[in-house]
Amino acid sequence: MKIAATAGGGLLLGFHWGSSEASTIQLVGAVADDINFNSYLSISPEGVITIFSPNPELGQNIKTSFPMIVAEELDADWSKVKVVQAVLDTKKYERQVTGGSGAVPHSWERLRKAGATARHMLIEAAAKRWGVPSTSLTAENSFVIDKAGNRKLSYGELATEASSITVPADVKLKALKDFKLIGTAVRNVDNKDMITGKPLYGMDFYREGMLTAMIQRPAFGMKLKSFDGAAAKAMPGIVDVVSYKNNVAVVGKSTWQINKARKALKIEYEPEGAIESTADHDKLFKDLLTNGQATVRRKDGDVDAAFKSAAKVITREYQCPFLSHSPMEPMNFFAHVREDGVELVGPTQTPDRARMDVAKLVNMFPDNVTVELTRLGGGFGRRLQADYVVEAAELSRLLKAPVKVIWTREDDLGGGSYRPAVRYRFDAALDANGNLVGYKLRGVGINAGNCTREDNFPSGAVDNLLIDTVEHKSPITTGPWRAPITNFLAFAEQSFLDEVALAAKKDPVKFRLDLLDRAKTSPVGAIKYDIDRMKGVIQMAVEKSGWGTKTNLAQGFSVYFSHRSYVAQVAEVEMKKGKPSLKKIYAVADCGVVVNLSGARQQVTGGIVDGLGHAMYGNLTFKDGAAEQKNFNTYRLIRMKEIPEVECHFVNNGIDPTGLGEPALPPTGGAVANAYFKATGKRLYNQPFSLQEELKGVTLGEKL
């Protein structure tokens, strides 16, 4: 922890993310040697509290929630807090990543300590000025208050004096019951800029003298054979046509002229690896499920014996296609490669990766590469990759000019880092009493890595269990997509368990609760989820949805643990004119303490809409290494008419926050599929649902 009086007076407080101990404290001068700083807040003599938000903001609301946590412990007047997006500085901030729903869990205590430490010092400064014991003083709304003396001093008035107070080695944090800001609904700090159309995003970044470029990339498995850019280069407004690696870039000033010239490129490609199509994958999946070389992920007991002696065996398979992330803002980045360093500006979930990859490209020290973060027009995992950042740097180096690379929607769908296509086979063995005595899961994925979550429920509750995976390596690039792997696995598993419960003649909720009790009383192997938290969301979902009490509606249940949090969902389908109509989804989330109720509701509701939309429609197919869906006319995203009512609840049990950007998405597909089954007697096994025979003629949101 370091403190500095700022040049203009005021308090500058740094706090160290790398250590939870605030023990190494020293006073530093106005120009801080900030090697160990990781984030900070400042208070000006005018009373403006500036909180730097280090993490990339893509809609998960971190730019509002992080500062709220600091402001809470500081007892700051939120209306006077100014939030500033920090640039990349891993020496100060350490973890500047948006991914894995990990930011709030990582920083919760550090942010609280930062606020509480400053508050302590402001109170001490007031005590010193008034000559009273600090224990007689309180703080509220950016003032230190002396109730007995009927007087108060603003944080601004105290800031400079506070900077000379000894920094406490340890500071008392508020009791949860004393939170005033945390847990309330606080509006997004960027609202005003967003609703008035201010330039916030990478696409909006313009620089005098900047060139704009679009790139023609090969299909997966292909490489550049030859190209003729003469016709394109001769078109109006085109500065250059250049080629590097397997790409051809058209460079100019006007986006439209570049787009037009691009169509005049003559490019020949040739195969350099496997040229794959979705039809091949469908065949491959079935073969590899049976004959593939599997990697064992978890093994408990003896599954062969259990299945041999089982009274009943249930085997089901589930498959999903590739998905594109399709953030509304397509990929783009600005780069200026100079002799002495590189300037990068744009939207990225992993600014440090962008810096490292570019440093490697241009053979410079990472310290010579700066990254300024714009707001991200969505990410969903796509912007964890730095391919499009490296492209901008590559072109800037080639052209010796500042360059902004822009992807069209077609580029985005065709050049993704897709959610991998996966197929699962589940096997369950039941004994004569309907107990689950054996469980097998094999996943086959295309560049999916481990496409299971082997330690998730019901692992730990079944005596004999085998989970393994088979991998197919493909030239089609894949990567994390919101709630990686679990975005489809949860549907498959929760649908399968629904079917097993039915075969065991048990209520699906009771079936899960019995298994959880089993895991609690006689755990099998390691248990890596919190049984009580999972039961907690199940029970609350039962209560809120009136599970099992509605005669006019078919309900489907699902519960899933991902990214440290627990979410149960109940979907309700009504039969009308012989058609199933999805009416409502209840969600109960246990993400520990809810920081911002408005943002938390957004993440749950938005996660459900995202999960439903992609389960229903998401479908990216390949023909000869190229994505067949080129734009939103064929790659279907969910629209307003199609959404059911959503009601969300939070357990809010006082546990330190455990993340919410992803956990609400995985349970949705299963809840919806189980409700459709209850209503129609038809099971869904494959996504997208809308293309399955079982849902023929069914339209989301149709007014029946």
Partner 1 sequence: MAQYKLQINGRSYEADVDADTPLLWVLRDNFGLVGTKYGCGIAQCGACTVHLNGNAVRSCSLPVSAVGSGKVTTIEGLSANGDHPVQLAWDEVDVAQCGYCQAGQIMSATALLNKKSKPSAEEIEAAMNGNICRCGTYHRIKEAIVVASSKMK
Using CB under 8 A, list all residues that contact partner 1: 58-61, 185, 187-188, 190-192, 194-201, 203-204, 206, 236, 253-257, 260, 326-330, 375-380, 408-409, 598, 602, 605-610, 613, 631-633, 637-641, 643, 646, 701, 703
Q: Rounded to 5, what percent of the chain is helix, strand, coil?
A: 35, 25, 40
Find how far residue 370's CA is from the centre of its chain. Answer: 24
> How far is the C-alpha of 576 from the C-alpha of 579, rounded, in Å?
5
Shortest Cβ distance from residue 329 to partner 1 (Å)? 5
Shortest Cβ distance from residue 600 to partner 1 (Å)? 11
Shortest Cβ distance from residue 331 to partner 1 (Å)? 12
Shortest Cβ distance from residue 142 to partner 1 (Å)? 23
Q: What is the DSSP letter of 344?
A: E
> How far is the C-alpha of 605 from the C-alpha of 18, rounded, in Å?
33
Shortest Cβ distance from residue 616 to partner 1 (Å)? 13
Pairing of strands 26-28, 622-623: unpaired
Residue 146 vs residues 65, 140, 167, 321: alpha-carbon distances, Å: 30, 11, 22, 64
Q: Which of 219, 203, 248 is nearest to 398 (CA)?
A: 248
Shortest Cβ distance from residue 263 to partner 1 (Å)? 12
Amino acid, res. 549: T
- Look at phi and psi of residue 677 and say left if phi exceeds 0, alpha if psi is from -120 to 50, else beta: alpha
Of the pair 271, 606, the CB lying nearest partner 1 is at 606
Record the tokens describing residue 360, joined without a space.
Answer: 């490697």
> How far is the C-alpha of 10 from the C-alpha of 360, rounded, in Å?
40
Give the three-class secondary structure for 393: helix
Positive or negative, the Cα torsion across 571, 575, 578, 579? negative
Of the pair 263, 528, the CB lying nearest partner 1 is at 263
Q: Which residues contact 539 (CB under 8 A, 6 or more apart)?
A: none
Could you give phi then psi for residue 610, rounded to 5 degrees? -65, -50
Of the pair 200, 421, the CB lying nearest partner 1 is at 200
Find how far residue 702's CA is from the centre of its chain. Answer: 30
Shortest Cβ distance from residue 50 to partner 1 (Å)? 22
Could you give phi then psi for residue 696, rounded to 5 degrees? -55, 130
Shortest Cβ distance from residue 649 to partner 1 (Å)? 15
Q: How many C-beta atoms surround the C-beta of residue 578 within 10 A?
A: 8
Q: Which residues contact 681 (CB under 8 A, 6 or more apart)?
A: none
